[in-house]
Chains A and B, each alone.
Chain A
Amino acid sequence: MTFGRALAFLLRGFVLTLLVAAASLLLGFLVSIPVGIVLNLPGGVVRLVLRAVVDFIRGTPILIQLLFVYFGWPLIPVVGVSLSPIAASILALTVNSAAYMAEVVRSGLMSVSPGQRLAGRALGLRPWQVFRFVVWPQAFRIAMPPLMNSVVALIKDTALISVITVSELIANVRSVVSVTWNPAYYLVAAVLFFIVTFPLMKLAGRVERRMKERGFAND
């Protein structure tokens, strides 16, 4: 196997890795916003249940969650059908990233001063407009660096979906190494990950610096 062909094979796997990660992150982020809002509400059964679910997901290995969704799903009586490995991966990773991001969203929302909501209301904005134009943009900027950490963590965790037979980068690199006997391909795979995660890590730092320049902290 030539290096070129091996690399192409790895890249094909990596594209799949990234697609699964991107889909999970997008869905997870959308889910995390309402969950983060509910986690901030006082009292309520819904909040307590979500709190418990979020804590449980954050406190258990993602590998177990993947295996459980893939093998456990067909056993749920009403559902009955099995999930494709990719669907199971996206489902498990979505739930997992939603749990982490909901926690970040929750603390971001909480760090916006209550006076900001008052001022929005005083100007006649409707409650959803106060959220949309006043609270959310501030919460998002505050949450951005830890959100980026979650994004990077999830991209790396996506490597685990090879255990439920998805032929993504890790699965492919293992077969390349088993044919070529050249472990340097592991390094190639690592570099591929790094090319994607590094700019994301830098982006978080840039957002943070820009917030400081604008005197964001003292409103």
Chain B
Amino acid sequence: MIEVERLSFRYPGGALALKEVSVRFAPGKVSAVLGESGSGKTTFLLCIGRFLRFRKGTVRLDGADIRTLPEREFRRRVGIVFQHLYLFPHLTVLENMMLAPVHVLGRPGDEAEAEARKMLDRLDIGDLAQSYPGQVSGGQAQRVAIARALLLRPDYLFLDEPTSALDAKTADDFAAWLKGLKDTTNFVVVTHNLLFAESVATEGVYLSGGRVLDTGPVGRIAGHARAGKLVTRG
């Protein structure tokens, strides 16, 4: 369980990007974070992911304040895939995927490789193992970034705009695939893509101007987004 309580965040010299945000992400569910551009979705992920230091509010991971958790333990339990992916361009797809299993989990190289290849096959990009990130398509890169994060087997995985480079069909397949994994990993998906949100998530959070306007069943939340004239993309 991740419990966010009255989280506020201000960028240095900027406006208040998050205002007293309170949300909880229960295990066994896929949640969607919706909101228009600039509403604070990425900022919210960066705070929960300990990439931005917030002064007000608390974030608890299974009851423990995340600010007190040792870095490595926290990273193994909470994964994040950024909007811009940040695959490592000097490593092949396979090497990108093996880096953390080998150097963070201490897995032997051959095991890590076998597992990475299996994951790539499941994502239908097995033939890309030896390609470099600069040589694959946007949608393929997105799948590689997610696969790379999943190999650490995090309890929670936050995905920022995971469908931005996927076509409708691929996004559907991807939603089905994520749902299939929800018993081992809890996904929180930040997205503009309302159809994707509705097909993948059961719960939703609607952010607007840094505030939570509503939390609840994803259908209702997506309704707010539609009423808010959110442009449906992807």
Interfacial residues, chain A to chain B (CB-CB below 8 A): 113, 115-116, 118-126, 129, 133-134, 137-138, 141, 214-219
Contacts and interface: CB of A to CB of B under 8 A. Distances in A.
Contact of B134 (A113, A125, A216): A216
Contact of B75 (A121, A138, A215, A217): A121
Contacts of B84: 115
Given A121-B75, A123-B149, A215-B134, A115 B86 contact: yes
Contacts of A118: 51, 82, 86
Given A115-B82, A215-B133, A218-B134, 16 more contacts: A115-B86, A119-B82, A119-B88, A122-B149, A123-B75, A124-B75, A125-B99, A125-B100, A138-B88, A138-B89, A138-B90, A215-B89, A218-B89, A219-B86, A219-B88, A219-B134
A217 B88 contact: no
Nearest to A137: B90
B104 A116 contact: no
A124 B87 contact: no
Contacts of B79: 122-123
B219 interface: no
B86 A119 contact: yes
A122 B134 contact: no
Contacts of B49: 122
A125 B88 CA distance: 13
Interface in B159-190: none
A214 B103 contact: no
Contact of A123 (B90, B104, B133): B104
Contacts of A215: 89, 132-135
B134 A133 contact: no
B10 interface: no
Interface residues of B, number: 29
A113 B135 contact: no
Q: Which of B51, B88, B91, B133 has the largest number of chain A CB atoms within 10 A?
A: B88
B29 interface: no
B211 interface: no
A109 to B, nearest CB: 14
B72 interface: yes
Nearest to A129: B103
Contacts of A126: 71-72
A219 B89 contact: yes
A119 B152 CA distance: 13
A123 B135 contact: no
Q: Which of B85, B90, B104 has the largest number of chain A CB atoms within 10 A?
A: B90
Interface in B51-89: 51, 71-72, 75-76, 79-82, 84-89
Given A116-B86, A214-B89, A215-B89, A133 B99 contact: yes
B148 interface: yes
Contacts of B91: 137
Contacts of B87: 119, 219
27 contacts: A113-B86, A115-B84, A115-B86, A116-B88, A118-B51, A118-B86, A119-B85, A119-B87, A121-B51, A122-B82, A123-B100, A123-B104, A124-B75, A125-B100, A125-B103, A126-B72, A129-B103, A133-B88, A133-B99, A134-B88, A138-B88, A141-B90, A214-B132, A215-B133, A215-B135, A218-B134, A219-B134
Contacts of A124: 71-72, 75-76, 100, 104, 152
B86 A217 contact: no
Contacts of B51: 118, 121-122
A215 B135 CA distance: 6
A123 B152 contact: yes
Nearest to B79: A122
A134 B91 CA distance: 9
B147 to A, nearest CB: 12
